[in-house]
Amino acid sequence: MTRDDAAYRIMAHMIPFFPDYDASVQVASALIDGGASYLEIQFPYSDPTADGPAIQGACATALDRGFTVSEGWRFVRDLTARTPVPVFVMSYAGLVYAHEVQRFVKTAADAGVSGLIVPDLPVDSDEGLFAAAADAGVHAVPVIAMGAGESRLRLIESVGAEYVYASLRRGTTGSHTEIGPENSAFVDRLARSGARVLAGFGIATREQVRAVLDHAHAAVVGSAFVRAIGENPTAPADPVRRLCARLSGIG
């Protein structure tokens, strides 16, 4: 089964080299088999300030196991060669800037990446990310947090991004998010610009996914997979596939 059978559109997050290289290749396959509509590949960074404990710990492990940016691109190239599922790469300004923004974007495009998500390169401090991405035919995805003021929302809309990433609450990744009227209205507000809204932060259950997808284009699931891998570090593929299938509705 594949994403075409999925009832619910999931953007599944994962980290190359977590828990190690080979296992992370299997995790990617498990997410694809589990019906993920998009893959978000996080390139681990030493100082992931937007992430909660689960993803922080996973990034630290991945760095210990030998993740480097060039290994990350190898992982992504292998992945895009074997799946039509669109791959987005997420990382932090520190890493993207150290590898030169233009070059990072170009390498991403050559590796078959569909989009880039760099939360701390916002549209008005982007070091040329959005222009480089447009040139290279890659989506640069602005990240918008619940509670952003109307003037920030309009500024972000003005770049005309096809995808926007909505954090459904304040704080960092990982802890539970209640889907209620406030964050639903926030997603609706973003969707009105015509952008496809990828909504996430604290999504771990099918009920949350369903609630989010009444409003958003896709539900982003991250820490829940990281936790599933952490509980089964030697054989993560099955539990990850089962979780993904449950969330995407193919299983």
Chain contacts with other proteins (rule: CB under 8 A): 45-53, 56-57, 60, 63, 68-69, 93-95, 97-99, 119-122, 124-125, 127, 142-149, 152, 156, 167, 169-172
- 188 flagged as catalytic: no
Minimum separation from the CB atom of position 202 to other proteins (A): 11
Query: d(Cα 83, Cα 12) in Å, to the nearest integer?
Result: 14
Closest CB to other proteins among 47 and 207? 47
Task: Count the neighbouring beta carbons within 10 Å of the beta carbon of residue 67.
Answer: 23
- 207 flagged as catalytic: no
3-class DSSP state for residue 196?
strand
Catalytic entry in 40, 47, 110, 182: 40
- Cβ neighbors of 109 (< 8 A, separation 6 or more) are 136, 137, 138
Question: Which residues pair with residue 93 across a beta bridge?
Answer: none
Closest CB to other proteins among 82 and 154? 154
Helix (H), strand (E) at residue 53? helix 53-64
Query: d(Cα 63, Cα 105) in Å, to the nearest integer?
Result: 22
Minimum separation from the CB atom of position 213 to other proteins (A): 22
Minimum separation from the CB atom of position 132 to other proteins (A): 16
Task: Count the neighbouring beta carbons within 10 Å of the beta carbon of residue 134.
Answer: 15
Minimum separation from the CB atom of position 5 to other proteins (A): 34
Catalytic entry in 33, 51, 126, 157: 51
Closest CB to other proteins among 161 and 244? 161
Query: d(Cα 31, Cα 12) in Å, to the nearest integer?
Result: 7
Query: d(Cα 111, Cα 52) in Å, to the nearest integer?
Result: 29
Closest CB to other proteins among 182 and 214? 182
Catalytic residues, by residue number, are 40, 51
